[in-house]
């Protein structure tokens, strides 16, 4: 693993026309390193990655499935039940 030239990346980040990938190419490092340096310079102390399975948009704080997903399950169950009930009422064709 190579050492990232933080001063060079900082100078390149001042140019708004350069993307993180272009800065990484010029500084000979990964764009992940450039993103980490940019977040550090901006004062953003949030971690770059979340823990595996920690998705705020899917689960609430207790780890339970939110009502939206449960509601979707109920709608699907009612729809499948309606199809089953209507198919059960159909008489077989007479021969």
pLDDT value at 82 more than 60 = yes
Q: Which two tokens stand for residue 56?
A: 């705020």
Q: How does pLDDT run across 38-80, given as a tens digit for each residue?
A: 999 988 887 777 666 555 555 555 556 566 777 888 999 999 9
**Residue 86, pLDDT score:** 87
pLDDT value at 13 more than 60 = yes
Q: Name the residue ranges covered by the structural domains of the chain.
A: 6-48+65-89
Contact yes or no for 61/33 (Cβ under 8 A): no
pLDDT band at 20 (very low <50, low <70, confident <90, very high): very high
Q: Which residue has the tokens 């509601």?
A: 71
**Residue 1, pLDDT score:** 42
């Amino acid at each position: 693993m190579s050492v990232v030239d933080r001063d060079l990346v900082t100078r390149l980040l001042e140019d708004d026309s350069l993307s993180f990938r272009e800065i990484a190419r010029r500084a000979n490092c990964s764009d992940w390193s450039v993103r980490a340096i940019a977040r550090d310079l901006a004062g953003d102390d949030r971690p770059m990655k979340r823990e595996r399975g920690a998705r705020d948009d899917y689960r609430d704080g207790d780890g339970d499935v939110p009502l939206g997903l449960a509601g979707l399950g109920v709608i699907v169950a009612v729809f499948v039940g309606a199809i089953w009930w209507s198919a059960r009422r159909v008489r077989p064709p007479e021969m």
